Amino acid sequence: MIVAERKPINEILGMIKDAKRVLVLGCRGCVTVCSAGGEREVEILASLIKVGRKKEGKPIEIIEGSLVRQCDKEYIDSMDKWDGQYDAVLSMACGVGVNFIANLRPMVNVYPAVNTSFFGGSMDQGVWVEQCAGCGDCVLHLTGGLCPVARCAKSLMNGPCGGSQDGRCEIHRDVPCIWQYVHDKLESLGRKEQMLALAPIRDWRSAGHGGPRKVVRDDLTV
């Protein structure tokens, strides 16, 4: 899922300082699962904004809402029901949702209430860890299912680098060197010789270095 975190309340208050009626809009997708921007977080943020604005002596009207997803035109269209009721939207979706509202509602002031962090998974209660960088050319079949793009600090494709020590990464001593993991995993699977195969020079255009990316599925388009 996409993992996100709510921005500090003072940053949010600064964004909407001139607004009088704000639609705080949650998303029932990934940000609900990671407890950053679902219906519960909309309610909490709405209360924090009201308290903050009261302290500033500038009361504000808040409309609380949420969409099934903010990354789908069909659901953005369902914002029609709030038309004319707000002068700004505070989106609690990931950056995709904020962009979708900006794309599809050109006259709407939309602001991000969360920082979109990464593609990751929940390892423990309240702990999410990055696993994938969406590079567009997956190599997990070569690395025992462990991602060197997202999980190596240097995104090395032929690691480990010379800084790997005792299984720890030289950049962050508190995190494991993923290439040590790759080695150990391949060894335990009886595929250790794969470590010796030099990966070909990588074409990073699929990772977004050639501009915004797009996926078109001919079998699904009409």
Residues that bind ligand SF4 (CB under 6 A): 132-135, 138-140, 147, 149-150, 152-154, 156, 159-161, 163-164, 169-171, 177-179
Minimal distance, residue 183 CB to ligand SF4, in Å: 10
Shortest distance (Å) from residue 189 CB to ligand SF4: 18
Nearer to ligand SF4, 123 or 171 (CB): 171
Cβ at position 81, least distance to ligand SF4 in Å: 37
Q: Between 47 and 158, whose beta carbon lies closer to ligand SF4?
A: 158
Burial class (CB in 10 A: 0-12, 13-18, 19+), 77: exposed
Task: Identify residue 2 by its one-letter amino acid code.
Answer: I
Residue at token pair 């690691």: 159
User: C-beta of 149: minimal distance to ligand SF4 in Å?
Assistant: 4
Residue number, 65 or 95, with CB nearest to ligand SF4: 95
Q: Which of 73, 89, 109, 87 is nearest to 37 (CA)?
A: 89
8 or 167: whose CB is closer to ligand SF4? Answer: 167
How distant, in Å, are the alpha carbons of 1, 18, 93 from that of 25? 19, 18, 8
Measured in Å, how far apart are the chain's first and last C-alpha atoms? 28
